[in-house]
Structure formats: structure tokens, C-alpha cells
Amino acid sequence: MNSKYPQTRLQRYRRTPARRALFSETNLQVADLMMPIFVHESLSESQPISSMPGIFQLSVSDLGRELQELVDLGIGAVMVFGIPAQKSRLAEAAFDENGVVQRAIRFIKSSFPQLVVAADCCLCEYTDNGHCGIFTDDGQWDNDGTLQILEKIARSYAKAGVDMIAPSGMIDGCVGHIRQALDQSGFQQTMIMSYAVKFASAFYGPFRFAAGTQDVFCGDRHHHQLAPSQIREALHEADLDRDEGADVLMVKPAFPYLDILSQLRERSQLPLAAYCVSGTYAMIKAASEKGLFDEQSAVMELMMSMKRAGANIIVSYFAKDVAGYLKEGRI
């Protein structure tokens, strides 16, 4: 023996890149990725989002170019967010059959039928106060009124050909109401990706610039989203959405709540989605730009943490970067 400490069996597994790949316990694939895209009804050309370097609000005319890039990278799924020309108290633009998301869905399904299309089903981009629902005349949260609007949005998306409705507000009862509305309208095959476990998080800040709500939103969403302290409540919310008919359960934001994602994986047989949110994206971009760490290594470590915790789908603004790393074998 040349060393006082001979190699252990585990060290032999790690000896070369080929061995590490062969014995990998968790594998990340391009097929796991879903790219969020923002389509702005009023833009004539795409516009960079100041809070999220490398991400754009897309004009309707530029949508095809972005989608072709995703397809070329092998990314098979997108989540569409819309920014309307007009906002209102009752978010009427959200369920307009010629609304920005509805038009985007029809374009994607006709021009890129190989893509799975999820569409954000929420009011925050469409209300004049940036909230996920509506309020009564005396300023009280109107849960039932919000559900009625969400049903209209879901039906309009399904009629446009969407694959998955993604109700993102975590509004009480929304999954059951949307499932019933879809089934009664003949859209039994349209899936629901529920934001089942959504925390009222500070990590959504950069998203508000992407969604065009930074100038109108004030207050908070603690009355219908989870506090960071809640574990059992989070798992109970996921159980409720499962029982109401959700096809996919999401944890958002994923990175600060990997413990929740892992526990949900242990108790649920449904596919799980992890949303790597705008705040996580912006932090990594800012730190890497300052040379504090290598961006690629940090991003891939982050992606692997979500896969290891049990995610089947990773919704991420890093999707194109990750697909490029995987395609080139730089993992």
C-alpha cells in the first residue's frame, strides 16, 4: 500500500467522468424542462426585461423565432404568460377569445404542434391592481367571483387548444371549479397543472417586471398563499388539489422549499413540477456577473437539487441554458 488511506469503494465509483455518469443516481434531461415565455400584446418588437437578464417580453410577431430556438434545443414544453394592452378591475382581457394568450396558444399549436403548451391562468397580469383575483366594492376579497373568472379563462384556453391549464394564484377551490368547467364544456383531455403549494414569497419580485405588474401591484397575497412556516398546511393544500382533479402538482418557489417538494414526492403518485422562479434566476445571474461563482456549475447544481427532491418537470428561465449545456455534454 502506497497510502495510509486506501481508496474506498465509493471513491472507485467517482474515479472518472464515465464512471460517475454510469453510476449517477439522479439524471437530468432536456425533456424535464419547461420554458416560461411572456407575450406582450402591445409590443411591435421584443423587449428585454430589466430584472431578468436574457429574458424578453416577446412581441406576437417574434414568438415564432423564440419557439424555433426552443425546438432546436430539444425543449418540448412552454408556459405562456400574457401581458394585455388593457387592464381592468374584472380582468376581462384574460378570457377574451382573441386575447394575447389565446392567440399565442393557437399559433403555437398550429406552427409547433410538437410542443406541450401550458398557459398561466391567473388575473394578476390583467387586473388594474395586479392581484390574482378581484375584490368586492367594499374592498373584500371575492373568492367566488374570482373562481367564475378563472373558469372563463380556462374554457377560452381549452378552446384555443392548450394542453395544460396552470392556475397560478392558489385560489381556494380553483382546481375543482376549473376541472368541472372543462369537463362540462367537452374538454376532458385538457390537463390541470396546479400551483398546489405556492408560498407568498419575496422571490417573485423580478417576475412583476416581466408580467407588467410592477407599477400597479401593492399589498401582499398572504390571504390566499402560504406562509414560509407552513409544512403540514402545504401538504394538505396539495392533497386538496389532487382530490379536486389536478393532473400535476407544483411547488413554487422550488429552491427555498425543496423539503416540501421531497415530502410531497413521498406521499403523492402524481407528476410534480418545480418552479425555479425569477428571484432565483436573478440572484444567480447577478452573482455570476460579479464573478462570485461559475454560472453553469451553479445552475446545474440547482437543477439537480430539484430533480433529486422529486421533480418530474422543472419550470425555469434557465431552460435554454440548461438545454444547451446538456446538448453539448457540458454537465
Q: What residue numbers bound the domain in which 90 lies?
A: 28-327
Residue 157 has pLDDT above 90, yes or no: yes
Does 252 participate in catalysis according to the annotation?
yes
Residue 211 has pLDDT above 90, yes or no: no
Q: Name beta bridge partners: 21.
A: none
Does 198 participate in catalysis according to the annotation?
yes
- How far is it, in rounded angstroms, from Cα 316 to Cα 327? 17
What is this structure's pTM? Answer: 0.91
Residue 2 has pLDDT above 60, yes or no: no
Q: Which tens digits make up the pLDDT trace of 7-36?
A: 687 788 888 888 888 888 899 999 999 999
Residue 217 has pLDDT above 80, yes or no: no
The pLDDT score that the predictor gives to residue 241 is: 96
In a domain, 71, yes or no: yes
The pLDDT score that the predictor gives to residue 213 is: 61
Q: Which tens digits make up the pLDDT trace of 51-76?
A: 999 999 999 889 999 999 999 999 99
In a domain, 272, yes or no: yes
In a domain, 298, yes or no: yes
In a domain, 308, yes or no: yes
210 confidence band (pLDDT: 50, 70, 90): confident
Number of separate domains in the chain: 1
In a domain, 20, yes or no: no
Task: Retrieve residue 316's grid coordinates.
Answer: 425555469
Task: Report the relative pairing of strands 272-276 and 141-142 from DSSP bridges.
Answer: unpaired
Which CATH number do you get for residue 159? 3.20.20.70
Q: What is the 3-state secondary structure (H, E, C) of 212-224?
A: CCCCCCCCCCCCC
- Average pLDDT of every residue of the chain: 90
In a domain, 310, yes or no: yes
In a domain, 141, yes or no: yes
In a domain, 226, yes or no: yes
Q: Are 97 and 137 in contact (CB under 8 A)?
A: no
- How far is it, in rounded angstroms, from Cα 100 to Cα 116? 18
Q: Which tens digits make up the pLDDT trace of 122-147?
A: 888 888 876 777 777 787 878 888 89
Give just the sign of the alpha carbon dihedral 20, 25, 28, 31: positive
User: Which one of 198, 290, 307, 327 is the catalytic residue?
Assistant: 198
User: Which one of 4, 87, 152, 252 is the catalytic residue?
Assistant: 252
Residues 6+ apart with CB under 8 A from 64: 107, 111
